Amino acid sequence: MCIPRSELHLAGSPFHGVIPGAQAYLLGQINLAITFDNRANFRSEVLTFEVVDFLGSYHAILGRPNYAKFMAIPNYTYLKLKMPGPNGVITVSSAFSHAFMCDREHYELATMVINSFKLP
């Protein structure tokens, strides 16, 4: 995203279990305004993201605190995220083919990382 490190705020503890066999240290945190949907019906909130420097198949992960802030309900079976908007329900959707591609990329990345730890 080309955000300079000077924009990051100091952050706390490392992640455990994200990189097999290693800790991932935070570079910092950043607050970003996130908007869902379009001009006719939208929701915007400022979310705090933790920035790390390691290979991963995800660019951003929304967790339960962020879902709560948007009052959003994820449905993993149908790959939909629904939340209230000023003019009705906002639905964010994805395609199963895209989800499969992301899962495949994540599997290949995890395999590469695990294999790199097995080398003498």
The answer to whether 51 and 30 have CB atoms below 8 angstroms apart is yes
Instruction: Please state the φ and ψ torsions of residue 117, each to the nearest 5 degrees.
Output: -80, -25
Highest mean pLDDT among 64-68, 76-80, 81-85: 81-85
Place 82 in a pLDDT band, splitting at 50, 70 and 90: very high
Buried residues in 44-61 as b, exposed as e (16+ CB within 10 A): eeebebbbbeeebeeeee
Q: What is the pLDDT of residue 19?
A: 62
Q: How many domains does the chain have?
A: 1
CA–CA separation, 47 and 116 (whole Å) = 34
pLDDT tens-digit map of 8-65: 988 777 766 666 666 677 888 889 999 999 999 999 999 988 887 776 666 677 888 8
CA–CA separation, 93 and 64 (whole Å) = 18
Domain of 44?
5-118
